[in-house]
Each structure stands twice: as structure tokens, then as C-alpha cells.
Structure 1
Amino acid sequence: MSCFQITSLGAYLLGALDPAERSVFERHLNTCQVCREELIRLAPLPGLLGQVTLADLELPFDDPDPYDNQPLPPLAVVRPAPEPEPKKSRRPLLLVGAGLVLVLLVAAGVFLPRLTGGDATPAAAPPPTTTSAAPPTWSAMDNKTGVAASVAMVSHGWGTEVRLKLRDVPPGLRCMVVLYAKSGTKEIGGWWGTGGTEGEVIPGSSSFAVDGIDHMEVVADQQVLVTLRPPA
């Protein structure tokens, strides 16, 4: 099963949709399971692209073929293999074996309860119950810019899925979230425009593990709007 709007996921993750298109696509995400699953699968894309440098793009792509100008091996005549002889059917033996097993199972079901003095069928154990822990959430408000933010971080095998919410952000800005690891490295977790983002969940991603993130910043036009850190 597919969705014709799944082609907009890449532009959505990279912040290439205008505010009206972004709002329409996010309303579609609320009703489309296919697009939501594909969004989780492509969530690492912005973080991985943020690690690509100009030097990586200038690497040569030409790889000489060691087999160029080499003579081709001579063609060999392949004779067809003889057809195998038909095998004798083992169906009667299998039916006899299945009948013996059925007789033994019936006999065991008749005599085993008499030997044990009760029903030999154990009671079914109740299914185990599992509870998932809530994702860690950081919140902050910058007194200088007046911007408030909260972020929930979901751990995955490839890194961390970021779910960001902002409040009191001026419209018309192009923002990004920058994640700083405890090791000293940093990554860009996503880009978006601020038109119509009040209270909406803004997706992002990073290759850092949740417990390896020191803090993150929401930046617009090289100005830090708000900094989020783990609660004290």
C-alpha cells in the first residue's frame, strides 16, 4: 500500500515546503499511516546531510576498471545435463507414519489424565504486559527573545528522533535545530520555516544517542532563539 503524497516527505524533512504546503502536509500525516511510517524511516536524513562537507563532494568518482583492455576468455560449449529419473512416491509411507502418530496421540490423551489423576492440559499463562517509558522531554524559555520551546527525544537504533514544539516565534524566519554531543561534536537536526508553526510538532533527527546529547539550540539568522538542556 502506498500514498501519492509520500513524495513530499523529503521536502518536508529538509524544510523545503512553504508554510501553506507544510500545514497541508502535516494535516495529511495525522490521517496517513503509510506516510508516518516512511517519515520515521527517513528521519535520520537531515542529520546525515548535515555532516556532509564541501570536501566530500569534491572527491573524484572515476575509478579505473582493472579489467579494461583485457582479452575475453574463450567461450566454452555447455552440454545439457541429463534429465533425472522420476523418483518413487513416498506418499503411502508418509500416510502410514502419520496414522501411527495420530494413534499414539489419541492413546496418550486417553491414558495420561488417568495416570496423573486430573486434566493433563496446563492452564494457559496470562500474556505478559509491557509498558514503554515516556521519552525524555526538555523545556526552556529565553528571557531575551521571549521564545519558549519543548522537545521530546525518542531513541532509535540509528540515533534520536526529535519532536520539537515552539511558542512565540516571529513569523517569516528560517530556523534550524543544532544538537551538541557530550563528546564536543555537533549536528544540524532539521530546518523549517516559522510560518504557522505555533504549537505544531516539528520533526528532526540526529545520529547522537539520547544519553549522548549535551544540549540543543534553536537558531534563526545566526541568532540563538532558545537553548534547551536536560532538567537539573
Structure 2
Amino acid sequence: MNASGLHQLLGAYLLGGLDAVDHKSFEGHLQECPQCREELARLETVPMLLDAVPVPDAVALTGGPSAAVAEPSATAPVALLSELARRRRNGRRRWAALAGAVAAACLAVGLAVGPLLGRAPQPDASYSVQSGGGLQFSIDLARKTWGTELAVNGSSLPSDGTLSLWVRDRAGGEDRACAWTATPSGRVKVTGATPIQLGSISSVELRDGTQQAVAVITVP
């Protein structure tokens, strides 16, 4: 499948409607396509918004009668995704349009999701390391649809040059998650991102401007 065709799978990937083959193909495409990663980041709250949409309204967005999934509200997400999965056979392009339509509909009807979205996200994993000279370095890893978000907190770090955060996967590949100019105080709080999924991360490494390791965190 060409890049254009893979791009059309974005909506289905976001809503969990891809089969195993398409899911694997799209994840490979995601690592090479910054446009898809940007769109996923922009739409990552859509599944959470779906949870708040009443079943009849949600199904109406797919073009089907509300009776098709007339189930208790507690199973609304499951019912909706079941209906969407059935409709996926009629054309993949409808998924991308659906994701945008759901987001727009949620905003239009003024759903009370502000407090929910305003909560500070909880990390899926946290690690820290200390070394000579008082250096302290910690990261919070948060699983995202497009990969992994990394929140960095450090003190007594090198105070000059450029520092960078590198993520290594279990196959030996690596990706630079972020970089910043060192601060005179040696302290930093910065957020980075990588397309590598959380479960595939083997280590996170802080490097100085000469690409020498300053701190290494091994992820079990």
C-alpha cells in the first residue's frame, strides 16, 4: 500500500478499527510520516470525547439508525466501535472524516468534558537515576496513540552546551525525543516525544553536546 493509502487509515487507527495487518502497516508508516504523527496528536482526545457522546448521537454521525446499537450507556464506546467496524468495510476514507465529525459534534453540543480534559495526565511509567556530582534525572513516560510522551525533570545537569534525550527501542534503533540548551542552574523541565511505543522502549539516554552519555535509564 502506498503512503497515500496508508494515510487514509489514520482515522481507523485512532479509533481501534484496523485489523492486525493494517495496524502493523500503519505503525510502520507512522514512524516515517510526521504529518500523520501531527494529526494523531491533534485528534488523540477524540476517543475520550466518544465516551461522552450519547449512543443515538454517536451512531447518527455514522449515518445509521440509533436502534442499530440501542444498548445501555455504559457500553456506548463498545457499541459505537462495533458499528464503526462494520461500516469500515464500506470505505476506509469515512473513518478519517468520522474522527473529525465526532470532534466537531462534541464541541458543537457543548459536552461537559472540560474538567476531564483539564486533569493532569498520569504517567504510565516513571524512572529516575542519580550519579556523581549530585546529578538527578527522572522521566515520566505516557503512552500515546502516536508513540510515547516523555516528561523530563533534571537537576545538576551540565550547565553549558546542548543536551538531548535519546530513546532506544528493543530492536536496537534509536530516536531523538527532544533537545535543549543547557541552563546555568543545571536544572530543566522539558517534554519530548517519540514514535516508539512505550512497550518497545529499552532505554532512555541523556547526552551532552559531544553525544556522550550523561545519564542512562534502562526500561525493564
Band of TM-score, shorter chain: 0.3 to 0.5
In our comparison, the structure showing a higher alpha carbon Rg is 1
TM-score (norm 2): 0.42
| Higher relative contact order, chain-length normalized (CA < 8 Å, sep 6+) | 1
Higher helix share: 2
TM-score (norm 1): 0.40
